[in-house]
Structure 1
């Protein structure tokens, strides 16, 4: 069983250091990058499949050289065997369509040089784009079946079938069971939870974790980088030139100004602590849902 997990670096919005150029394009080189949170569920699904059925799991990402750290994180957390980074300047500023074309070319190149792929995993959307389009577009480019919003799955290797439970239109109250022939693409939902019920599965999981510690420590030796020439891609159909999406403007969300002043009080300062108590007394909790200064005396 051979799987590829697509993962992406996204701006670390929590740092408030997102940088845009004059044309409204995100300057990723000047913005802290972390792994897209939703990709963690895709990685867990790939790991569960490997634990249950064996095989090989590769991580793949398209982006600047710094995305190698994202792939290294995938190796550390879910024990991928190797990493593939699709990266050069011709790929910069790709929209979802150009990204999908590049990723599908990367997967086809992988199959030519490494081996046939049975499963392709992806998170259902990225924290920066929020479109959820890249996964389905990549499956379309490969002409593979796709199952989205997957919350549980298993493989029938003899029948070469994926059996999965998925949320219907993302509704957690409605679940359907579907089948798809391999190879196929799986887009996981944040509700996905891996399960390892058998002792043999838990032992395999432990063994893989130990093996990965040494591999992740030398991630560069397990990283392959392909540019657009390696993928036989025409520059007119990738990157900014190959992106039909037009961004009219980008308005970063400003940080809310601080509206409160903090006063530091030393616990040993009895006068200061009395002032703090006086501030909190009007908001003190009461019992029995009653209000007023004598509310605590009410009841039976």
Structure 2
């Protein structure tokens, strides 16, 4: 079972150091980066598939060279086997459409040069754009079936079928069971939770953790970098030139104050600790 997981680096908004240029485009090279939180669920879904059915999981990301750290994190925490970074200046400032074109080309190159892909996993949405478009647009480019909001899944390798439970949002939340032929694209829901009920699966999971953590110490040896020329992409259809999205305005994210008022209380001060308890009591009760 061969899987590719699409993951992205997003600004670390908690740092309060997000940088934009004069045109309103995010300067990713000057902004602290972390893995997109929703991609963790896509990686967990791919890992569960590998534990249950064997195979290979590749992490793939498009962005500046610093995104190698995101792919390294994927290897350390969710045990990817190798990584593919799509990176050069021509890809900068891509919107979801230009990003999807690049990812489609990379997956097609992967299939031509590495191996056929059974599953492409992606997160629900990113913490910076929050459009939820890149995964479905990539699927459209591949012309594969797609299953979104996946809560649980399993594979029938003999029949080449994915069976999944997905969340349907309407007036009330409903769960439906669906089937899709392989290859297909899976968009993991934030409520996805991997399950390892068999002892054999739990042992395999433990074994993979040990193997991968050792491999991650030399992550760059397991990472392949492709630029737009490697992917045979026309610069007119990627990056800023190939992005139909227009940024009309950007509101800066305010930085947290460097200094905050604080009251020091000695743990041995009974009256002081009583005051602290009274302040916290309302919040502990959920108010």
Q: Which interval holds the TM-score relative to the shorter structure? A: over 0.9
Q: Which residue of structure 1 aligns with residue 118 of structure 2?
A: 118
Q: Match of 2:204, SS?
A: helix
User: Is 254-263 or 179-188 further displaced after alignment?
Assistant: 254-263
CA distance in 2: counterparts of 1:279 and 1:262, whole angstroms: 14
Whole-Å Cα distance in 1 between the matches of residues 274 and 155 of structure 2?
64
In 2: Cα distance, 1:108 partner to 1:126 partner = 23
Equivalent pair of 2:18/2:253 in contact (CA under 8 Å) = no
Q: Does 1:64 align with 2:58?
A: no
Distance 1:36 1:281 in 2: 37
Deviations 1:43-100 (A, max 9, x none): 0000000000001110000000000110011011111111000000000000000000
Structure 2 match to 1:238? 238
Q: What SS does the aligned partner of 1:210 have?
A: helix
TM-score by length of 2: 0.92
SS in 1 for 2:141: helix
Separation in 1 of the partners of 2:38 and 2:55?
23
Shift of residue 207, structure 1, vs aligned partner: 1.0
Kept in 2: contact 1:155–1:163 (CA 8 A): yes
> In 1, Cα distance between the equivalents of 2:229 and 2:61?
17
Does residue 190 of structure 1 match 2:190?
A: yes
Match of 1:15 in 2: 15
The residue that corresponds to 1:103 in the other structure is: 103
Aligned to 1:4: 4
Larger Rg: 1
* Aligned residue pairs, count: 282
- In the other structure, the counterpart of 1:50 is 50
Change (3 A) 1:198 1:128: same
SS of alignment partner, residue 231 of structure 2: coil
State the TM-score, normalized to the length of structure 1.
0.88
RMSD of equivalent CA atoms: 2.3
